[in-house]
Amino acid sequence: MKHFLSWSGVCVAIVALCLLVPYSIHAQQTGNLNVATAVICKTIADRQAVEPGTSFSVSVGRLYCYSKITDIQSSTKIIHVWYFGDTERARVSLAVNPPSWRTYSSKIIQAHEIGKWHVKILDASGNLLKDVEFEITP
């Protein structure tokens, strides 16, 4: 009986380990994500940035931050944080999957929001991957 209990204990430990390993792999990105492309653009078509730039008229209405992330080891997320000057205006969490992923967020630009903007692209832990600067003109 003692031999049976120790064997069943080992089996329980193995099953528990098998259940925990996929969760930990999914929950934490291993290695460094790479931002292959990060641009501000007027629209997205066919999963590509359309009319990228660094200066846009306030009449644009809406802008997009397009990101292509590579070197993804496991499913994780990135965060686009939109800033008008030093003021955070939006925070968007975006799922990314291996081995590379294209994604985007958007922000409506209000008529009074003329000036310097930037979008910080962060990993799931809040580490800065890229900072994309642009301006809104009258």
Q: What number of residues does the chain have?
A: 138
pLDDT (tens digit, 9 = 90+) per residue, 86-125?
999 999 999 999 999 999 999 999 999 999 999 999 999 9
Q: Please answer whether residues 60 and 42 qualify as being in contact, where contact means their C-beta atoms are separated by less than 8 angstroms.
A: yes
Domain boundary assignment for the chain:
1-30, 31-137
Burial of 7 per CB tally in 10 Å (0-12, 13-18, 19+) = exposed
**Nearest partner of 104 among 44, 42, 58, judged by Cα:** 44
The whole-angstrom separation of Cα 8 and Cα 80 is 48
With residue 4 as reference, give the H or E element that holds it: helix 2-27
Evaluate the CA torsion angle 15, 20, 22, 23 in order and state its sign.
positive
Percent of the residues in the chain that have a pLDDT greater than 70, as a whole number: 78
| Statement: 31-137 belongs to CATH 2.70.50.60 | yes
Mean pLDDT for the chain? Answer: 85
pLDDT score recorded for residue 31: 56
The pLDDT-based confidence of 23 (bands split at 50, 70, 90) is very low
| 65-89: pLDDT as tens digits | 999 999 999 999 999 999 999 999 9
Sign of CA dihedral 65, 70, 75, 78: negative
